[in-house]
Structures are given as structure tokens and as C-alpha cells.
Amino acid sequence: MKHVSLENGIEKLMIPGSKVAIVQEGNSLEHALLVLTKSGYSAIPVLDRDYKLKGLISMPLILDKVLGIEGIEYDKLSEMKVEDVMNKKIGWMREDGGFFRGLELSINHPFLCIVDEAGVFVGILTRKSILAQVNNYLKFNNT
């Protein structure tokens, strides 16, 4: 019988930053909209030039800024920057935060941004991967 633990860290559950769609805070909203559309994600991390986590950008945040009374103000897409629109209140944790910290934070966030001790973005931890680990634990340890 296989033993599944919840005491381990999050490294094996995390999607590395190199495989995550991101934008930089100085990118235009047009660029962010393209990245969001092509990636199919509802929200993506926003980083600075040093790859430090600064926030999240999402389609609703962009649309809220470019929808005018008469319709979409397309010129705003190229004029406005991601940093003007991004959400700075996001779910994040350090990579050494542990599984239970990730579980607790994932209650209110579909994914958590993971940073190292210097605040550099290293990846994401999805609620899906956390729930899969809990499911495996319950399946294999309660038989």
C-alpha cells in the first residue's frame, strides 16, 4: 500500500515559473490582453524587470478600464500600462511555506504565486494540485 504524506513541501506540486504565462508591469494592456487570450488563463502574474512579483492582471480588470459609455475605447489598450490596472492584493507564499500554508491560502485563491526569499517569482501552486494531493492522501491513508 502506497503512503501519501501532506507534510512535504510544495516543490513537486508547483508549476515552474518558466512554464507560466506572465506579463511585466510596464507592458501595455493590449499586450496583456493578448497573453491572457492566448494562454487561456483567467489571470496571470505581473512581474517587474527583476522578475519580482508585483500583482495579477485579468481580463475583467482590463475590460473595466477600457469599457466606456459608448463602447470599448480601444486606444486605451495601447496607452495604459499593466501597472495602472493590476490587482496588488494577491495570493502568494514563499517557496518554503509548506503544504498546509498553501492549502490554507488556496481556500480564497484559484492559484498562489510562489516567490523565493528575495521576492523573485518562481512559479504557481494551483488549487487543483493541492486538492489532488489531499485526495490522494485520503484515498491511500484511509483504506
Torsion sign (Cα): 15, 109, 104, 139: negative
Structure pTM?
0.88
Coil, helix or strand at residue 29: helix
pLDDT of residue 1: 42
Q: Which domains does the chain have, with CATH numbers?
A: 15-141 (3.10.580.10)
pLDDT in tens, the chain (143 residues): 455 566 677 888 999 999 999 999 999 999 999 999 999 999 999 999 999 999 999 999 999 999 988 888 889 999 999 999 999 999 999 999 889 999 999 999 999 999 999 999 999 999 999 999 999 888 887 76
What is the rounded CA–CA span in Å between residue 116 and residue 61? 27
- Evaluate whether 93 touches 114 at the Cβ level (below 8 Å): yes
